[in-house]
Amino acid sequence: MSTENIIGNQAPIQGELTPPGDKSISHRSVMIGSLAKGTTLVRGFLDCEDTNSTLCAMKLLGVPIEALGTNVEIKGSGLMGLSKPYDVIDAGNSGTTARLLMGLLSAQDFLSEITGDKYLRARPMRRVVDPLRLMGAKITGSEDGNRLPITINGGELRGISYEPPVASAQVKSAVLLAGLYAEGVTEVKERKATRDHTERMLSYFGANVQTDGNTIRIEKQDDFNSAELLVPADISSAAFFMVAALINPGSEVLIKNVGINPLRSGVIDILKQMGGDIEITNYSDEGCEPLADILVRSSGLKAVQIKGDMIPKAIDELPVIAVAACFAEGETAIREAGELRVKETDRIKAVTTELRKLGASIDEFDDGMVKKGTGVLRSAKCSGWGDHRIAMALAVAATRAEGETEIDGSECVSVSYPGFFQDLRHLRK
């Protein structure tokens, strides 16, 4: 197990950085590009373990794909162009790969099987399996289909109107992808809006998807044509440098070409509410996603209450927001965030346990945590819990902890951001 050692010598974070491509959008570019007719060119693709799982899956489903770093060329043959895989599809650590593929594979005229690593095999799948079964999908797996490995006997589907009990873009996307093939209309009614990359990308490719408030509708589609896509930098990766700059005195960092989709940019709103000096510049909105540069300067922070609609908009950034809260004046509460318990690991438990080792004052609740900002952390030997975002959030905390902090299992950052530690070192002056 590799260990990263970070010396919290109060170094400011300075300079410019373009984080790697957005993970959610990269997954979707390969899946939707594979369903289009013709050659889809993707630029800015995220080259990491998770997205590689999606690339391998689509190749296994017979789609010719050439990936050269951040450039990917996909030769799609239309909605009916996938073929029976000769092997089990391994989604690795990637929930997005497994869950979105379940939607897609439910409609194919062949048998397929999906598995994943030990973390993914422990995560709930019924949230996706339930609506797909209502659509007519034949899915089996352990715990009545709640755990990978899962077998899908694809076939004809019918449209449904579905209100997911949990706010999840993966559930919504799986149902919409199945809806491309289902007889009639498929409708997802969200109680809280989640990231809309699937809807945006499908309509960019020319599929007929309609959004009306929090309701998204899709009809059985005819083939749509290929497109050229530019993947913006991942706001979830940018968030680590935003917080590192805010909490380290003397910092100023320009984070470039970041996707600032309003359903993903909760971290900007929250950090601004905390008093963060954050400027959005160079805004553009040409492809299917808006992007901008984000200028962040170190700031005195104050506590905030985070709950409700804000949770899905910042779900993946909550661990690093918890780090910012250690340096905020007052008590920051993150509540109604029980979903954090079923991410790559139990992120409420992981954040509470590891930040306490660093001396943070933090109370754990079923649905979140409350932190007293003490403004001081001390060094410790920490674990990344095999979870990329926990390891990176701890690295950010370590930049302000007194002394040398060790993060065990830090190699898991390659799930979403293989160059994270190099980029952090480069910006620490």
Contact criterion met (CB below 8 Å) for 394 and 386: no
Stretch that binds ligand S3P, among 5-13, 166-174, 327-335, 356-364 (CB under 6 A): 166-174
309 part of the active site: no
In our burial notation (b when 16+ CB lie closer than 10 A, e otherwise), range 185-202 reads: ebbbebebbbbbbbbbbb
Q: For residues 192 and 41, what is the distance between their CA atoms, to the nearest angstrom?
A: 33
d(CA 388, CA 132): 29
298 burial type by CB count under 10 A (0-12 exposed, 13-18 middle, 19+ buried)? buried
Q: Using CB under 6 A, which residues numbered 250 to 289 contact ligand S3P? A: none
Minimum gap (Å) between residue 317 Cβ and ligand S3P: 10
Asked if 170 interacts with ligand S3P (CB under 6 A), we say yes
* Minimum CB distance to ligand S3P smaller for 186 or for 399: 186
CB of 290 to ligand S3P, least distance (A): 17
Q: Count the residues of the shown chain that bind ligand S3P, applying the rule CB under 6 A.
A: 10
Considering the complex, state which of residue 58 and residue 358 has its C-beta at the smaller distance from ligand S3P: 58
Instruction: Please tell me which residue in 196, 293, 316, 423 is annotated as part of the active site.
Output: 316
Q: Which is nearer to ligand S3P, 103 or 154 (CB)?
A: 103
From 301, 315, 407, 415, residue interacting with ligand S3P (rule: CB under 6 A): 315
What residues numbered 89-108 form the site for ligand S3P, per CB under 6 A? Answer: 96
Identify the residue among 169, 209, 318, 337 touching ligand S3P (CB under 6 A): 169
Residues 6 or more apart whose CB falls under 8 angstroms from that of 313 comprise 193, 262, 263, 264, 265, 266, 269
Residues 317-356 that bind ligand S3P (CB under 6 A): 339
Tokens matching residue 357: 């080792």
* Contact residue for ligand S3P among 40, 168, 265, 410 (CB under 6 A): 168
Q: Least CB distance from residue 94 to ligand S3P, whole Å? A: 9
Q: Which is nearer to ligand S3P, 168 or 251 (CB)?
A: 168
Tell me which of 8, 13, 19, 24 binds ligand S3P, using CB under 6 A: 24
Task: Give the residue with the Cβ less far from ligand S3P, 7 or 122.
Answer: 122
**What DSSP assignment string belongs to 143-194?**
HHHTEEEEEEE----B--EE--SS--HHHHHHHHHHHTTSBSEEEEE-SS--
Residue 22 CB, shortest distance to ligand S3P, in Å, is 9
Q: State the Cα–Cα distance between residues 88 and 102, nearest whole angstrom.
A: 13
Least distance between ligand S3P and beta carbon 102 (Å): 13
Contact 409/385 with Cβ under 8 angstroms? Answer: yes
Pick the closer one to ligand S3P by CB: 96 or 186.
Answer: 96
Q: In the complex, what is the shortest distance from the CB of residue 190 to ligand S3P, in angstroms, rounded to a whole number?
A: 11
Smallest distance from ligand S3P to CB 88, Å: 22
Residue 294, strand partner residues: 255, 280
Q: Specify the residue for token string 């899946």.
A: 31
Q: Is 53 in the site for ligand S3P (CB under 6 A)?
A: no
Write b or e for each residue in 154-169: b if 16 or more Cβ atoms lie within 10 A of its Cβ, otherwise e: beebebbebebeebbb
Residues in region 26-45 near ligand S3P by CB under 6 A: none
According to DSSP, the β-strands at 361-365 and 215-219 are unpaired
Identify which of residues 96 and 226 has a Cβ nearer to ligand S3P in the complex: 96
316 binding ligand S3P? (CB under 6 A): yes
Contact characters 180-219, ligand S3P, x per CB under 6 A:
---------------x------------------------
Contact 160, 132 (CB under 8 A): no
Q: Which amino acid is at 107?
A: A
- Kindly state the DSSP code that residue 343 receives in the 8-state scheme: S
Q: Which of 202, 285, 231, 287 has its CA nearest to residue 70?
A: 231
Rg over CA atoms, the chain: 21
Binding footprint of ligand S3P on the chain (CB under 6 A)? 24, 96, 168-170, 173, 195, 315-316, 339
- Catalytically active residues are 316
